[in-house]
Amino acid sequence: MEKVPRKKEKKGISGKKLLLILLCCAILAGGGAYFLRAPAQLPPIGDGEAAVMLLNRPEEDISAIAIAPRSGMPYPLVRTENGFALLGREDAALRSAALEDLLLSVCQLPAEAVVAQSLSPETGLSAAVFGLDPARSRVTVTYGDGEQKELLVGDPAPNEDTPQRYCMLSGDPRLYTILDSDAAPLLREAAYWTSFDQPRLNGSLLDRIEISGEKEFSARYTPSGWQMEAPFAYPLAASKMDALLSSIESMAFDSYLGEETDALLREYGLASPAMTVRLVQAATVITGETVEGEQVTLPVAEKEYTLKLSRETEKSEIFALWQGGVYRASTFLMGFWQAVEPREMVLRSPVNFLVNDLSAVAFTMGDTASRYEVRMVESVTENNQIAVDEYGRTLYDCAVRRHGESRDMDAEAFLAWYTQLAALSCDGELPAGYAPTGEPRAQIILENEQLTRVISFYPYDALHDALSVDGTALYYVRKTWIESVSETP
């Protein structure tokens, strides 16, 4: 068991520093449009011109970093006894990796290019076109000796090699560009910095996925594959479900906005969410080792998670309610929920049960009606010993018996025929809403301990049959296919 570190006593901020911080906030909150504009070209720094360091003092010299993003409220990060913290929320832990990126930017920030030597009415250059009036973000770095440096960060600059942004330094008339990766931490809103736990889901343990709201989707896991239950019943393609499960495992939020309250839900469009996702995780057992070296197992009960999602904003953001917290997320990491399209996820080759997952196969067409019962039996060597592989695991053979017979049939003949059935693949899509009528002209039924899959063939047109799987017809197949497998073993 890890020891919980004691919290260090925090020292109050001195009057001088507090005055400095308040002055910093006042500067950030105030407007200012004293910069003017520049060309769209991005000339590189000349060979004879030394690279300009816009910010270049060590971290230990910094006492406060005030950031005023255009889209949010200004806020300062201040140095405390335990490192940097949000002013007024000194007890809230910050995201360590994000804070490291910010400190890298404000401790050593090089200019990538000098775009213009000055912005003035005489040159006809206007700062507004570069996103500097008002700035995308106004950043003020305050040092322990009282020095302040103010940086304006603007719009993205056109560059084919590396993404960059326009910027200016207070007291310097020149217009610069900096790397977009250096600018990113300077554009963050206050909520971004608060530390929080990201979702940690294991896709292999999920038993059920349900989506309701603007989109309907429900699927359950079986050992024979995922089965869709809504908006219609149909087996799902393993590759499509693997992609969805991978996205669920990678699900992440951008920032934590606060604990769930009615006011917060209304503010972020979660009082009436666009989508509600329900995830059910199967019961499992965790094994581990104690500090004394003893092996222990811990049963974990079935667990249910609920995720509520807002509609996408103009900034390509989504707000989420998860485990009692409200979060901001990007469509890059959370937009996959909106992209779930049930019809695109279905299995197009429905005879996909492995032989060792079969209990029975039934085939009906015209006067032909055959049923085969399948089981796996231990493989025996010529010396009448149970066969094993190189790791000592028992090997099995497939045994097949026609329904009503007392002896097993030739398994090789059955396996060759079943291989033909497994080659069934759709040739095209049926019209939306199509429903077959009358009796099917042929039917294949697959059975195992978990599922019974019914595949029916209905006359569609002169060349094709409509293919119905578990009562839902989505595709058609050429008529000659069912005839090619009609000769049963």
Q: Token pair of 250, please?
A: 């990678």
Residue 123 or residue 52, greater confidence: 52
The string of DSSP letters for 453-487 reads EEEEEEE-SSSEEEEEETTEEEEEEEHHHHHHT-S
pLDDT tens digits, one per residue of 358-391: 999 999 998 889 999 999 888 877 777 887 787 8
User: Is the pLDDT confidence value at 421 over 90?
Assistant: yes
> Mean pLDDT, to the nearest integer, of 422-431?
94
Whether 125 contacts 37, CB under 8 Å: yes
Q: What is the pLDDT of residue 400?
A: 94
User: Is the pLDDT confidence value at 414 over 70?
Assistant: yes
The conformational region for residue 466 under phi > 0 = left, psi -120 to 50 = alpha, else beta, is: beta
> Mean pLDDT, to the nearest integer, of 311-335?
92
Domains of the chain in sequence order? 15-193 (no CATH), 203-286+296-345 (2.60.40), 355-484 (no CATH)
Residue 161 or residue 272, greater confidence: 272
Residue 41 confidence class, pLDDT cut points 50, 70, 90: very low
Q: What is the pLDDT of residue 46?
A: 42
User: Is the pLDDT confidence value at 128 over 90?
Assistant: no
Q: What is the pLDDT of residue 10?
A: 35
Residue 158 or residue 15, greater confidence: 158
> Mean pLDDT, to the nearest integer, of 110-136?
85
Q: What is the pLDDT of residue 271?
A: 95
Q: What is the pLDDT of residue 42?
A: 40
Residue 266 confidence class, pLDDT cut points 50, 70, 90: very high
> By mean pLDDT, which of 10-14, 71-75, 122-126 is the weakest?
10-14
User: Is the pLDDT confidence value at 25 over 50?
Assistant: no
Whether 86 contacts 194, CB under 8 Å: yes
Residue 129 or residue 23, greater confidence: 129
**pTM for the predicted model, two decimal places:** 0.74
**What mean pLDDT is reported for the chain?**
87
User: Is the pLDDT confidence value at 135 over 90?
Assistant: yes
How far, in Å, CA of 212 to CA of 294, rounded? Answer: 45
Main-chain dihedrals φ then ψ at residue 181, nearest 5 degrees: -65, -35
How far, in Å, CA of 418 to CA of 330, rounded? Answer: 47
User: Is the pLDDT confidence value at 33 over 60?
Assistant: no
- Closest Cα partner for 309 from 342, 280, 340, 270? 270
Q: What percent of the chain has pLDDT over 70?
A: 89
- Closest Cα partner for 467 from 348, 354, 360? 348
Q: What is the pLDDT of residue 359?
A: 95
Residue 50 confidence class, pLDDT cut points 50, 70, 90: low
Q: What is the pLDDT of residue 283?
A: 84
Q: What is the pLDDT of residue 487?
A: 92
Q: What is the pLDDT of residue 132?
A: 93
Residue 14 confidence class, pLDDT cut points 50, 70, 90: very low
Residue 176 confidence class, pLDDT cut points 50, 70, 90: very high
- Closest Cα partner for 268 from 197, 186, 191, 338? 191
Alpha-carbon torsion (398, 456, 472, 341), positive or negative: positive
